Amino acid sequence: MSRILLGLATYTIVAIVLLLPPTLVFVEALRQGLPAALATFADPDAQAAIWLTVEMTALSVAVNTTFGILAAWALSKFTFPGRGVLLVLIELPLSVSPVVAGLVWLLLFGSQGWWGAALARHGITIAFAAPGILLATIFVTFPYVARTLLPLMQRQGRDAEEAALLLGAGFWQILWRVTLPGARWALLSGILLTTARAMGEFGAVSVISGHIPGLTETMPLHIETLYNGYQTVAAFAMAALLALMAMTTVALRGILERQADKAGAGKAEDWA
Amino acid sequence: MPSAPRLPGLWPRPRARTRRDALPGLHLALGATILWVGLLVVLPLLALAIRPWQDGAAPMLAALHDRRMLAALELSFGSAALAALVNLPLGLLLAWSLVRTRLPGRRVVDALIDLPFALPTAVTGITLATLYGPHGWLGAPLAKLGVRVAFTPLGIMLALAFVGLPFVVRTLEPVLRDLPPELEEAATLLGAHRRQIVTRVLLPPLLPALATGFGLAFARGIGEYGSVIFIAGNQPFRSEIAPLLVVIRLQEFDYAGATSVGFIMLLAAFLSLAVISALRRRLSRGLGGGEAA
């Protein structure tokens, strides 16, 4: 009896809290039929927003993956003074509000920021332009790759690497041929998490981007513009696309983790 | 001994202190890491720490007396705490169903738990605002009952609860999984009542994880922006959250004011994580077991 009640309670909560919202996104997007929803994407501003999001995501993932791998190498295979401080600093962005994550870049590169005016005299604009959006996106997705790789690489120890060294391998060979293949599930999982976060980032980007339609609007910002302009169908069509992209990425990560579990690699410990 | 989930910030120690080193790449990797962390994390956060004092202490002092800011901070903290609190029983129920029962469709439920985490915040924002709005699927029936959700503090709490739920479930799950069902059976055999089993056998080992889940959801809630602003109403003194005030101050070109609010939010987030981490350590010590991590 109590089993049944528990099951019913679970289903009810899941249905109301977790199932209704994504359903609503697609229902609202298709309210006037599929053609009306698809028409959203014919708009040049919408296309510009999609491209900007793809570009910013790709670049953030590239930067944070490259440095995340190197950081995980240094922090998992070696001990050195200040290691603990570095670990804390890498995780710091997780506890910073997205809005603050945008604000800090304005303090450096905004018109009233430390270097904004000086850079502007040389024709370099960072705030209210793509470079600012990129910096904000890198900041909010900063730790994910390092965080997923590190515990796994640490558990793997350094025996394989030392063996490779004795056999004459250099640093890049060891990293590329020995360490990373053993950590490929965790690496991929970290990259997917970074991707999902990067394309959905709203607060940080909203502060630094200046909201210029067609120029500095990413998909989440374009959704806000459409919604506030009472273009509900268009807003939800764009939201549906973004949600599909993000949910696919996260779902892939789930499949991957089950795969890794089966392979006995252990679950990547990475919760943010 | 079941290992409690770690708060971010508590990484495992390396296996052994290594000798003076044969493996290559430390200098290169460490140099790159310091550059990456220095330019992209330390430098901007330093700006946040220094900027409020740059024009003297006056702007910060003024900010501390700004009643609108205090109201916004109070609202953000209050609703984040309430939302995290609401998530504890909800999260416990979901985690329990996932770990201890053979619920049909468990895989689907498991996947859906991550949804609030996967859904981009702007999408969450407009969706919840529509769902709980006066004409929404849930908003309309609730309005008939006289409950207004959208554009009130209740809406803020609801959005924060939605966003925080996966944090609670995912911290509780591994602890529940490590808790042997035999424990309850033993308690039953020894003649414990149902309530005794819950309060004496089940709850104590779960407390550290509950505290962690609360802390993570709370810290996330303080700074949450995108999923809240659409449903919040954003009236000063009533339904204006602290992150929104940062944005408004920036739009007024009041950098000092914006930075003061941002700085206080950051301090509060660190403080709450530190308190939770200390509390959690204390709770797990009370169990008589050391921590694995």
B11–A150: do the CB atoms touch at under 8 Å?
Answer: yes
The CATH number of the domain where B212 resides is what? 1.10.3720.10
Share of chain B above pLDDT 90, in %: 49
The A residues from 31 to 60 touching B (CB cutoff 8 Å) are none
Regarding whether B141 and B83 lie in a shared domain, the answer is: yes
Number of H helices, E strands in chain B: 15, 0
Q: Which residues constitute the domain of residue B43?
A: 26-55
Give which of A11, A25, A107, A142 to mutate to test B binding, by max B Cβ within 10 Å: A107
Regarding whether B208 and B106 lie in a shared domain, the answer is: yes
Regarding whether B84 and B46 lie in a shared domain, the answer is: no
Reported confidence tier of residue A272, pLDDT bands at 50, 70, 90: very low
Unique residue bearing structure tokens 């910073």: A96
CA A92/CA A119 separation, integer angstroms = 28
Regarding whether B275 and B255 lie in a shared domain, the answer is: yes
Q: What is the pLDDT of residues B194-221, one digit of tens each?
A: 788 888 888 888 888 999 899 889 989 9
Give which of B14, B8, B292 is closest to B178, Cα–Cα. Answer: B292
Number of domains in chain B: 2
Residue A271 has pLDDT above 60, yes or no: no
On average, the pLDDT of chain B sits at 86
CA B166/CA B149 separation, integer angstroms = 22
Q: How many CB atoms lie within 10 A of CB B292?
A: 11
Closest Cβ opposite residue A98 in set B103, B114, B225: B225
CA A56/CA A244 separation, integer angstroms = 18
Chain A's closest residue to B245, CA to CA, is: A99
Q: Is A74 an 8 Å CB contact of chain B?
A: yes
Q: What is the pLDDT of residues A154-192, one digit of tens each?
A: 998 889 999 999 998 889 999 999 999 989 999 999 999
- Lowest mean pLDDT across A70-74, B4-8, B23-27: B4-8
Reported confidence tier of residue A1, pLDDT bands at 50, 70, 90: low
Closest Cβ opposite residue A10 in set B94, B123, B162: B94
- Report, as an integer, the average pLDDT of A60-71: 97
Of B55, B70, B96, which one is at a domain's C-terminal end? B55
Q: Is A114 an 8 Å CB contact of chain B?
A: yes
How confident is the model at residue B286, as a pLDDT? 62
The two tokens of residue B203 are: 């709850």
Regarding whether B124 and B45 lie in a shared domain, the answer is: no
The two tokens of residue B288 are: 């008589």
Q: Tell me the CATH number of domain A31-262, given options 1.10.3720.10, 3.40.50.10420, 1.10.3470.10, 3.40.50.300.
A: 1.10.3720.10
Regarding whether B172 and B126 lie in a shared domain, the answer is: yes
Regarding whether B251 and B166 lie in a shared domain, the answer is: yes
Regarding whether B40 and B65 lie in a shared domain, the answer is: no
Q: Which helix (H) or strand (E) holds B3?
A: none
Regarding whether B150 and B39 lie in a shared domain, the answer is: no
Reported confidence tier of residue A268, pLDDT bands at 50, 70, 90: very low
Closest Cβ opposite residue B33 in set A21, A67, A94: A67
Q: What is the pLDDT of residues B225-246, one digit of tens each?
A: 999 999 998 889 989 999 999 9
Q: Is A92 an 8 Å CB contact of chain B?
A: yes
Q: How close, in Å, is residue A96 to chain B by CA atoms?
A: 6
Regarding whether B164 and B79 lie in a shared domain, the answer is: yes
Q: Indicate the pTM of the whole model.
A: 0.89
Regarding whether B100 and B50 lie in a shared domain, the answer is: no
Closest Cβ opposite residue B29 in set A6, A70, A89: A70
- The more confident residue out of B54 and B123 is B123
Q: What is the DSSP letter of A41?
A: G
Q: How close, in Å, is residue B288 to chain A by CA atoms?
A: 25
Give the residue extent of every domain in chain A: 31-262
A78–B18: do the CB atoms touch at under 8 Å?
Answer: yes
Reported confidence tier of residue B81, pLDDT bands at 50, 70, 90: very high
How confident is the model at residue B195, as a pLDDT? 81
Q: Which helix (H) or strand (E) holds A186?
A: helix A184-200
Closest Cβ opposite residue A254 in set B41, B111, B255: B111
Asked whether residue B293 is domain-assigned, the answer is no
Regarding whether B279 and B139 lie in a shared domain, the answer is: yes
Of B14, B40, B55, which one is at a domain's C-terminal end? B55
Q: What is the pLDDT of residues B93-112, one digit of tens each?
A: 999 999 988 888 888 898 89
Asked whether residue B204 is domain-assigned, the answer is yes
- Report, as an integer, the average pLDDT of A204-219: 92
- Report, as an integer, the average pLDDT of A67-89: 93
* 3-state class (DSSP) for residue A50: helix
According to the per-residue pLDDT averaged within each range, which of A98-102, A254-258, B278-282 is highest?
A98-102
